[in-house]
Structure 1
């Protein structure tokens, strides 16, 4: 009897550990994304929808734009411009264009990063299509805006003051839902993120 109770308790503990591991697996992607957005870790730029560009001394920064699509999302996705030059501290606006090539309505969600990675904390996105998923009907196209600025503090940081080119990369993934119908961002495929960094 005592052995059965010990075995039952052990089984309950192991089941609890397994449930906890499954829960952490589901939470790891959104928690990691939140950590990256707050710290700028891994090339994730700062996001501040209330921010206003502070203005600067007129030093110019070249912003290059990159676009990728993962397998499973039949979209065409590209930046309207390959690059622009803006004064550091001034607000910039650019557009990406997405078109659904699938035979039905599909939804996608975009992740983003900045290279060089050390510049990410100084790249501030004010408004971005990546803040929510995008739904496109068959053959539908959409212009997707991004409003941003480069914080002038980039010029006073010894590790970034020589940076004059920043690349903003987006990767679109199929939007997924959990069992309750809530949107879940697909986890970035490590290969596509590394490829985007290598290409830039």
Structure 2
């Protein structure tokens, strides 16, 4: 009888250990899952993966006697009642030179609307070398009813791109922006339909 009680107690302890181990594993997996978007974003920003551009406080690069064409592309997601387009569709920029470009956005609805821009460059290999100093994409933008704003982006191309075989011979790079609603409450019945605009 005592042996049976001892065996039962041992089995109960083993079961508790298994349950606790499973709970700990679930907690770890849950933490990793929750952190995944942040970790992925940090990875993309650090490496330029997927055409993610870099952010710089200032430009200390040497200006090279070589020019690249920078094209600008703009898109508006469904549900955002904005018109969004670049002031110019392309510009020639010296590698290492600080450049300034403007995009224009108009809220076509009768209500204030918030938008958030996401961005990338193509070819993707330029992501490590395309540096933004200032950009409207760094934060949400709120446009009042029928308001039009000019939104700047200050950038430079890192001269190290000429040492990279995947970018050294490329004659141009495209900087693309897509604006999305920053608030999901902007229902289709509340806003005018958006017409995507593309530059390029």
Shift of 1:138: 0.9
Moved beyond 6 Å, runs of 4+: 1-5
Check conservation: 2:47, 2:127, Cα contact below 8 A. Answer: no
Q: Name whichever of 10-19 and 157-166 sits farther off.
A: 10-19
1:162-173 matches, cutoff 5 A = 162-173=169-180
Shift of 1:26: 4.8
Instruction: Say yes or no: does 1:73 pair with 2:72.
Output: no
Aligned to 2:192: none
Is the 1:53–1:91 Cα contact (8 Å) retained in structure 2? Answer: no
Contact 1:49 1:126 in 2 (8 A): yes
Choose 1 or 2 for highest CA Rg: 2
Tell me the equivalent position of 1:33. Answer: 41
Q: Is 1:111 aligned to residue 115 of structure 2?
A: no
Aligned counterpart for 1:17 among listed residues 23, 26, 30: 26
The alpha carbon displacement at 1:50 in A equals: 3.0
The higher relative CO (CA closer than 8 Å, separation ≥ 6) is in 2
Q: Distance in 1 between matches of 2:70 and 2:134?
A: 16
Relative to the length of structure 2, the TM-score reads 0.76
Unaligned stretches of 5+ residues in structure 1: 178-195
Moved more, 72-81 or 43-52: 43-52
Count of residues paired in the alignment: 178
* Corresponding residue for residue 181 of structure 1: none
Aligned twin of 1:51: 59
Deviations along 1:41-89, one digit per CA (max 9) or x if unpaired, are 11011111233343112x1100000011112211111111100001111
**Deviation (angstroms), 1:10:** 4.3
Aligned-residue Cα RMSD (Å) equals: 2.9
Deviation at 1:101, TM superposition (A): 1.6
